Structure 1
Amino acid sequence: MIPKVAPLILLVPLLTFPSGTDAVESARVVIPQHVTTGENVTMVCEFDLREDFDPKNLGVYWQCITDNKVESVCSYYNGTDSLEKQAPRFRNRTTLAVNPWRAILTLQNATLLDSGIFQCTIKYKWPASDSDVLSVSARYQPLQLTVRYEDGTAVLQCVTEGGFPLGKVIWYYQDGRRLNQTWSVMNYTRSDRTFLIKSTLTLKSEEETSVCCSVIHRALKENITSCLKIPGKRYKC
Structure 2
Amino acid sequence: MECTFPVHEKLEFRDLSISWEKKDELRKHVYALIKGVEDFKSQHSDFKGRIKLLKENLKLGRSVLQISDVKLRDAGFYRCVIGYGVADYKTISLKVKAPYRTITQGIVSQGGNEWKLMCQSEGYPLAEVIWQNKEYEDLTYKANTSYKTGSDQLYRVTSTLTIKSRVGENFYCIFWNKELQENTSAILHIADSIDGVLWTESRRFVGAILIVTVLLGSVFLFMICIRKARANKDDRTLVATSSTGKLSKDNETYDYRDACFEEQELKYMQTEKT
Using a 3 Å threshold, how does the CA distance of structure 1 residues 220 and 102 change in structure 2: closer, same or farther? farther
Q: Tell me what 1:192 maps to.
A: 152
Q: Tell me what 1:138 maps to.
A: 98
CA displacement at 1:217 relative to structure 2: 4.1
Q: Confirm whether residue 61 of structure 1 aligns to residue 19 of structure 2.
A: yes
Equivalent of residue 75 in structure 1, options 32, 39, 44? 32
Given that 1:214 and 1:226 are in contact with CA atoms closer than 8 Å, whether structure 2 keeps it comes out as no
Can you give the 5+ residue segments of structure 2 that lack an aligned partner in the other structure? 193-274
Residue by residue, what CA displacement relative to the aligned partner does 1:173-198 show, whole Å, maximum 9, x if unpaired? 13433337432211111122122212
Query: What TM-score, normalized to structure 2?
Result: 0.58
CA displacement at 1:171 relative to structure 2: 0.3
Q: Distance in 1 between matches of 2:141 and 2:47?
A: 48
Residue by residue, what CA displacement relative to the aligned partner does 1:85-125 show, whole Å, maximum 9, x if unpaired? 11123222222213241112122222222222222111234
Given that 2:30 and 2:47 are in contact with CA atoms closer than 8 Å, whether structure 1 keeps it comes out as yes
**Partner of 1:132: helix, strand, or coil?**
strand
Q: Confirm whether residue 92 of structure 1 aligns to residue 49 of structure 2.
A: yes
Q: Distance in 2 between matches of 1:220 and 1:46?
A: 31
Given that 1:181 and 1:203 are in contact with CA atoms closer than 8 Å, whether structure 2 keeps it comes out as no
CA displacement at 1:129 relative to structure 2: 1.6
CA displacement at 1:149 relative to structure 2: 2.4
Using a 3 Å threshold, how does the CA distance of structure 1 residues 132 and 125 change in structure 2: closer, same or farther? same
Q: Give the structure, 1 or 2, with the largest relative contact order (CA under 8 Å, sep 6 or more).
A: 1
Give the number of equivalent residue pairs: 188
Runs of 4+ with >6 A deviation: none
* Bigger mean CA offset, 212-221 vs 85-94: 212-221
Q: Confirm whether residue 104 of structure 1 aligns to residue 67 of structure 2.
A: no
Q: Distance in 1 between matches of 2:116 and 2:183?
A: 26
Residue by residue, what CA displacement relative to the aligned partner does 1:43-85 show, whole Å, maximum 9, x if unpaired? 222223579743322221111223x231111111212212221
CA RMSD of superposed structures (Å) = 3.1
**Partner of 2:151: helix, strand, or coil?**
coil
Could you tell me the percent identity over the aligned residues? 24
**Partner of 1:187: helix, strand, or coil?**
strand
Letter in 1 for 2:49: N
Using a 3 Å threshold, how does the CA distance of structure 1 residues 92 and 196 change in structure 2: closer, same or farther? closer
Query: What TM-score, normalized to structure 1?
Result: 0.66
